[in-house]
Chain A
Amino acid sequence: MHGISFDIAHMLAGFLVLASFSMLYQVRLYALLNVLALHAFVLALSVAWQAHIQDAPHLYITALIALGFKAILIPWALRKIVFRLGIHREIEAVGGIGPTMLAGMALVALSLEVMLPVTALADPVAREDIALALSVVLIGLLTMVTRRNAVSQVVGFLSLENGIILAAAGARGMPLVVEISVAFSVLVACIVVGIFLFRIRERFDSVDVGVMDTFRGGQG
């Protein structure tokens, strides 16, 4: 019965992985933020689809949070911050796009290799969703590692978190998903406010975290 609904669920999850990949090679911050908005939008669609096929109305709330908060509000706020900090023209050295993409592919292969056999007993939707979600999580980590700018590290973290929400939505009948996505949103809001409040620009004259390291009082 579920042929087409499975396919759509997998397609959306696949899109999310694709969006993660395109995050890896963005060198301009505005472009990166656009991809982030797209990423969250695909997540919202994906969660809404899960809500539909699982007949779980509470997941629509999670989808709405993803849409309103992560696809619109956060990218908008980050855009403001980037503009305010005057780093919107900067081009970020991501350090070898080729190797990074290869590493990303290796991570996807790894997560499929690890997750598919062990979730053999779980239902097929969850099974592949979890594997793809793990890929999104790992690529998010990779994005964080390859970036040196505080804003783009946050973007990497947000994509990582989207992957986890995808996994939570894919786990049929999992309670507390809404609460968890709210808790995550609070965390993210704090991080974004944090960039602003901590006035990293003012304090360090740069949002390059590599520069921050030098302030550590002689490594004592």
Chain B
Amino acid sequence: MTPDPVSGVLWVPPIAAALLAAIPAYRVSAIVNVVASGIALMFALLLPLADRPGAGHLLFVDDLNVVFIVLNSFVGFTASIFSASYIEHELETGRLAPMQVRYYHAMFQLMLFGMNLALTANNIGLMWVAVELATLATVTIVGLYRTHQALEAAWKYFILGSVGIALALFGTILVYLAARPSVGEGMDAMVWTTLVAHAKDFDPSLLNIAFVFLLLGYGTKVGLAPLHAWLPDAHAEGPTPISAVLSGLLLNVALYALLRFKILLTGNSHAIAPGPLMMGLGLLSLLFAAFMLYRRRDIKRMFAYSSIEHMGIVVFAFGMAGPLGNFAGLMQMTMHSLTKSAIFFAVGHLTQVKRTQWMPEIGGVTESHPLLGWGLVAGVVAIVGLPPFGVFMSEFLVVSSALARDPILAGVLMLGLLLSLGALLLRVTDVAFGPVKGPAGPVKAAYLPLFAHLALVAMAGIWLPPPIVAWFQHVARTLG
């Protein structure tokens, strides 16, 4: 009997979390963390191939969430490899105590569990609970260092995230109310597959208000401006593996929730079109982040703003909808996850060796640490959307579909892209080239995750395997 991949994806992380909470030795727990994430990845890779069980009241698998689960598990796995070497360094320098590391590892797996549960949920209530779980787990990790800044970041994330989540729940209740007359009372009115089938009969005005709450609630977690205030702090002050996972995964999970509700609204012809709202917020985030990038001096904070920028582009693309817009959105999201986490892998090791996140005190890293330095440069070249990397292709797709829709929109989009390109290149040249600043000691870095991600992004820019293209095109059509 072959194991069921869905239960594999869902059971491995919580079991690993319990195990990690019980293991005191940090070396062993780092290995367990990697192995558990690896097993979860194997199960996730089986998902597209395996027979799908029918949609239940709680869980289901379809073409859309498979994309998210595979991406999530992959980045979760590479982040766990990076985390192992990162944590070892933190222990050696005494920034973290073994007890904190034990806690950190358990929370890491708990967070992966929350995200996988949110992605496989076929129930708007269960999804909400899962997103809350993932948020709580990340909050506690963000405050791990117990410095003023870390505590402030965790508190801010806590309060803003909780308010966002509360608003999302209110929206969820309203969706239930809208669904109840046509679907009937009870569990059925919270099940995605049933909701989508009956969406055309829902009360449109109730659905509209619900979507506003959901957009604000889950949008807070996506990091859309003006709801982004928690994001730069949480990225800058938490351990770097978590910055990578936040940018690469958690933002995507919140986005996934938004997309599901968007499908619901598109299914109802009398409801407002969710597209323009999403496009507006997306463009606002892009422009806002592009301008904010120029003033950054903290390297992790800078890349956090770049995440806001990219989530803005992704939400904009999904807002445009249509097969091309959705395809571009999916591509952009995937490329951003891979590239941004690669950047954070490089940045994590660099800040460890330089003992600062302050960019004016870091310089010439391509000279002092060639592999890391050039890895960072490659990552930045990729993230700003220069060829030959995959982000170039996906941004090109977003711009061209915007152009087909409205040249003014495309103009604003281009402006945001160019501004952030300028800002990031400007800052990174100072960090990467020029005279060596800061300690130049040897570094024990995990290069595999960094270069595996970069290689994937480079490959995607040159040649995308046809099955992936076909899969994405299919998903893009189902997104409507």
The tally of residues in B whose CB lies under 8 Å from a CB in A reads 50
Q: Are A164 and B169 in contact (CB under 8 A)?
A: yes
Does B132 sit within 8 A of A, measured CB to CB?
yes
Does B224 sit within 8 A of A, measured CB to CB?
no
Q: Which residues of A contact B159 (CB under 8 A)?
A: 144, 153, 157, 191
Q: Report the Cα distance A171→B176, complex, angstroms.
A: 8
8 Å CB contact of B186 from A157, A175, A198, A216? A175
Chain A residues touching B, majority SS:
helix
Does B136 sit within 8 A of A, measured CB to CB?
yes
Q: Report the Cα distance A175→B301, complex, angstroms.
A: 41
Does B125 sit within 8 A of A, measured CB to CB?
yes
Q: Report the Cα distance A161→B169, complex, angstroms.
A: 10
8 Å CB contact of B155 from A126, A172, A194? A194
The verdict on A114 contacting B126 (CB below 8 Å), with A173-B180, A183-B132, A187-B132 known, is no
Does A53 sit within 8 A of B, measured CB to CB?
no
Q: Contact flags (1/0) for B134-171 with A, using CB distance below 8 Å? A: 00100110010000110110110011001101110110
Q: Which residues of B contact A220 (CB under 8 A)?
A: 236, 296-298, 301, 357-358
Q: Are B177 and A171 in contact (CB under 8 A)?
A: yes
Q: Report the Cα distance A191→B155, complex, angstroms.
A: 9
Does A176 sit within 8 A of B, measured CB to CB?
yes
Q: Contact flags (1/0) for B164-199 with A, using CB distance below 8 Å? A: 011101100110110011000111011000000000
The verdict on A175 contacting B187 (CB below 8 Å), with A183-B129, A187-B132, A203-B151 known, is yes
Q: How far is the CB of B46 from chain A (nearest CB, A)?
A: 29
Q: Which residues of B contact A8 (CB under 8 A)?
A: none
Q: Are A187 and B136 in contact (CB under 8 A)?
A: yes
Does A109 sit within 8 A of B, measured CB to CB?
no
Does B409 sit within 8 A of A, measured CB to CB?
no
Q: Report the Cα distance A190→B132, complex, angstroms.
A: 12
Q: How far is the CB of B199 from chain A (nearest CB, A)?
A: 16
Q: Which residues of B contact A102 (CB under 8 A)?
A: none
Q: How far is the CB of A36 from chain B (nearest CB, A)?
A: 16
Q: Which residues of A contact B298 (CB under 8 A)?
A: 217, 220
Q: Report the Cα distance A190→B297, complex, angstroms.
A: 33
Q: Are B154 and A198 in contact (CB under 8 A)?
A: yes
Q: Report the Cα distance A167→B166, complex, angstroms.
A: 12
Does A118 sit within 8 A of B, measured CB to CB?
yes
Q: Are B166 and A198 in contact (CB under 8 A)?
A: no
The verdict on A218 contacting B297 (CB below 8 Å), with A191-B158, A191-B162 known, is yes
- Please give me the residue from chain B that is nearest to A133 by CB atom: B170
Q: Are B149 and A216 in contact (CB under 8 A)?
A: yes
Does A91 sit within 8 A of B, measured CB to CB?
no
Q: How far is the CB of B39 from chain A (nearest CB, A)?
A: 27
Q: Contact flags (1/0) for B34-52 with A, using CB distance below 8 Å? A: 0000000000000000000
**Closest 5 A/B residue pairs (Cβ):** A173-B185, A220-B298, A176-B125, A118-B205, A215-B148
A-B contact list, 30 entries, CB within 8 Å: A118-B203, A119-B177, A126-B177, A134-B170, A141-B163, A157-B162, A157-B163, A161-B166, A168-B169, A168-B173, A171-B173, A172-B185, A173-B180, A173-B185, A173-B186, A174-B189, A175-B186, A176-B125, A176-B126, A180-B129, A180-B169, A183-B129, A191-B158, A194-B154, A194-B155, A198-B143, A215-B148, A218-B297, A220-B297, A220-B301
